[in-house]
Homo-oligomer: A and B are copies of this chain.
Amino acid sequence: MAKGSKLLQLTGRFPMHHGGFLQEPVIAYETWGTLSEHADNAILLFGGLSPSAHASSSPQNPASGWWEDMIGAGLPLDTDQFFIVCINSLGSCFGSTGPASVDPATGERYRLNFPALTLEDVAAGGYEVLKHLAIERLHTVIGCSMGGMSALAFCTLYPNAAHGLILISSAARALPFAIAVRSLQREMIQKDPKWLGGNYDPADPPLVGQRLARKLGMITYRSAAEWQQRFGRERIAGEGDPATPFYGDFAVESYLEAQANKFTGQFDPNCYLYLSRASDLFDLAEHGGSLQAGFAKMRLQRALVVGVTSDILFPLQQQRELALGLENNVSRVRFEALDCIKGHDSFLADMDAFRPVVSRYFDD
């Protein structure tokens, strides 16, 4: 769990969208800023697959958050003006209940006994936090990447819970390319002999599979153009394992190695599998039978959709589809195509491009 996260302990059964339930799950969240008297200045933030609720530093946890340059006094998510809530997705492993948590019914970790997870469940977890905080209607709900699909689920399931919506580098549903990538990442983990059908030793997890999956992730999170600028064909003397004739001395190989080392060990493999699959399964069209029907369920006044030209995982055409879909039902929709080079990760790595766009939404 991220230091400084608040924990909301739910009572009773939490029904899951695809069947089954969780007994008294916990939702972890963090907040920044102050809720106004009329509780009308709240922003709810759904993150991507891997981050915790620690989107920004706080007195309780001064470590940088994953959107450090977006949240704070004078920043686009201005803590002098707004009350910002970021949740750790249900199914994750940073405080919220997930497959790595202990099932109170058995006293054992859920592992693969965790019920099928959907982003509708993640949205429901966020909604519980809002009820707990006595927030009836959000100023804006924001979702980045997978979190954008959680935000779409949220606006569909709770049509009156948000006034505005910001979707960043997301989609109404995954393309088969993204499904193929995530499916292969899951297979890498499941084929690691240490996965043991989900019953791995938490002290000795399937790190090899997790590292491979993370490397494939990085290949799809960034862009070929960025790597050409950044690495080209540069070689790093002394890198790699000279015991094989295939050792990785290209700078880009060394970079992937460093990225894999940074990520793995932090994230529970079963939680990853559940959230990854949930990303494949989400389809706005399942809310009513078509994308159009899904969009029609929402009761939003405003929306902003932002995407990046170099994103191969959630490509720009999917942002355009979101904007067009929203335009039929929302009076004010803005679509921004940013010409960032850092691919899908631009919303984390190219804040100078994203800040003005998000600022403009809140200044309006």
Q: Which residues of A contact B (CB under 8 A)?
A: 112, 114, 116, 173-177, 179-181, 183-184, 186-188, 190-191, 193, 197-198, 208, 212, 215-216, 218-219, 223-224, 227-228, 230-233, 243-246, 248, 250-253, 256, 273-274, 276-277, 280, 283, 312, 315
Contacts and interface: CB of A to CB of B under 8 A. Distances in A.
A268 to B, nearest CB: 14
A178 to B, nearest CB: 8
Q: How many copies does the complex hold?
A: 2
B186 A246 contact: yes
Contact of A180 (B184, B227, B280): B227
B176 A246 contact: no
Contacts of A186: 246
A183 B274 contact: no
The 6 lowest CB-CB distance pairs between A and B, nearest first, are A177-B224, A176-B252, A176-B227, A176-B231, A246-B277, A183-B253
Contact of A183 (B175, B248, B277): B248
A175 B246 contact: no
A116 B180 CA distance: 33
B176 A191 contact: no
Nearest to A247: B277
10 contacts: A176-B227, A176-B231, A176-B232, A177-B219, A179-B250, A180-B215, A187-B215, A193-B193, A245-B277, A246-B277
Which applies to chain A's interface (DSSP): helix, strand, loop or mixed?
helix
Contacts of A227: 175-177, 180
B274 A181 contact: no
Given A180-B256, A274-B245, A315 B208 contact: no
B253 A180 contact: yes
Contact of A175 (B116, B187, B224, B283): B224
Nearest to A253: B183
A219 B277 contact: no
A344 B204 CA distance: 39
Contacts of A256: 180, 183-184
A212 B184 contact: yes
Contacts of A276: 246
A219 B181 contact: yes
A253 B181 contact: no
Contact of A212 (B180, B191, B193, B312): B191
Nearest to A250: B179
B250 A280 contact: yes
Contacts of A243: 197
